[in-house]
Amino acid sequence: MDYRLIALDLDGTLLTRQKRILPESLTALREAGLQVMVVTGRHHVAIHPFYQALEIDTPAICCNGTYLYDYPARRVSAAHPLDKTQTLTVLNLLSQYDVHGLLYVDDAMLYQHPTDHVLRSLAWSETLPPAQRPTLVQVDSLAAAAQEAQAIWKFATSDADIGKLQTFAAAVERELGLACEWSWHDQVDIAQRGNSKGRQLAHWVAAQGLSMDQVVAFGDNFNDLSMLESAGLGVAMGQSNDAIKARADVVIGDNEAPSIAHFIRQRLLA
């Protein structure tokens, strides 16, 4: 197959637990000579160091396909955000179920209470140069902040009680008709139904005159399935859930080892 594009999830895939891209991965991606695209659940303000390390100019697919972000032009395109009525209803359910929610808007991620998830993000931010730090802001009221936002991309909800989180996500889908995708073992992302990494990727690929058969996609979690299954070659990381590995074309090693580099050299450069 004449592959033309490599689509990369970040957390759990391209990144190690320390939020680093292995140097072997960077070298192999450059050697491959293909276009590289970041396809992530992250907000665009939280991928600066990785986008720059990859030295790419393709747009990033952010918030699980909610929008494209053009880094060179510093603008959003192809967006399908939540409306304010939906956002306020989700906030009511978060309060009802006592689940933490991080709100992704415009150019910032907003929170009310500094949970472990937020504190880890803030600690990671402090390790970065100021120009690469994500905009993570504490607010008195997420509801008030949502009313002032121009665009509301998604909620990242988390809880140590996985059963409670599952019940909450089921209520959101049942009562609001929104999409809930697991992006980590204790995190469910809430966005507009119809948004997905695979759908946004397919739209962009078609606009370039290419087909999804020419895409190699790497991912590790349930929010990656839409692109793993629609790509010409869907590659799951070794630490992925068995249900994800069963639906990928290929399973490689985990994200702590240079698994992506080995695969590129053995499968794409051989």
pLDDT for the residue numbered 183: 85
Asked if 109 and 183 sit in the same domain, the reply is: yes
Which of 191, 214, 237 is the endpoint of a domain?
A: 191
Please check whether residues 57 and 181 belong to one and the same domain: no
* Contact call for residues 146 and 154 (beta carbons, < 8 A): no
66 and 34 share a domain?
A: yes
Q: What is the mean pLDDT of the chain?
A: 96
pTM of the model: 0.96
* pLDDT band of 227, cuts 50, 70, 90: very high
Share of the chain above pLDDT 70, in %: 100
The total domain count for the chain is: 2
- Supply the range of the domain harboring residue 182: 84-191
Asked if residue 101 and residue 58 are part of one domain, the reply reads: no
Shared-domain flag, residues 223 and 137: no
Indicate which residue of 9, 11, 189, 224 is catalytic: 9
pLDDT at 270 over 80: no
Residues 173 and 98 in one domain: yes
- CATH (domain of 262): 3.40.50.1000
Does 140 qualify as catalytic in the annotation?
no
> Are residues 94 and 182 located together in one domain of the fold?
yes
* Short-list 71, 112, 65, CA closest to 91: 112
44 pLDDT tier (thresholds 50, 70, 90): very high
Last residue of a domain, one of 173, 191, 209: 191
**Do residue 100 and residue 181 come from a single domain?**
yes
CATH number at residue 122: 3.30.1240.10
Whether residue 74 sits in one domain with residue 101: no
Do 201 and 155 fall within a single domain?
no
- pLDDT, tens digit, 9 for 90 and up, residues 114-165: 988 899 999 999 999 999 999 999 999 999 999 999 999 999 999 999 999 9
Name the residue type at position 231: A
Domain end residue (candidates: 176, 191, 206) = 191
Same domain, 234 and 257: yes
- Judgement on whether residues 167 and 91 belong to the same structural domain of the protein: yes
Which pLDDT band, with edges at 50, 70 and 90, does 249 fall under?
A: very high
For 79-109, how does the pLDDT look when each residue is reduced to its tens digit (9 = 90+)?
Answer: 999 999 999 999 999 999 999 999 999 999 9
Interval 254-268: pLDDT, tens: 999 999 999 999 999
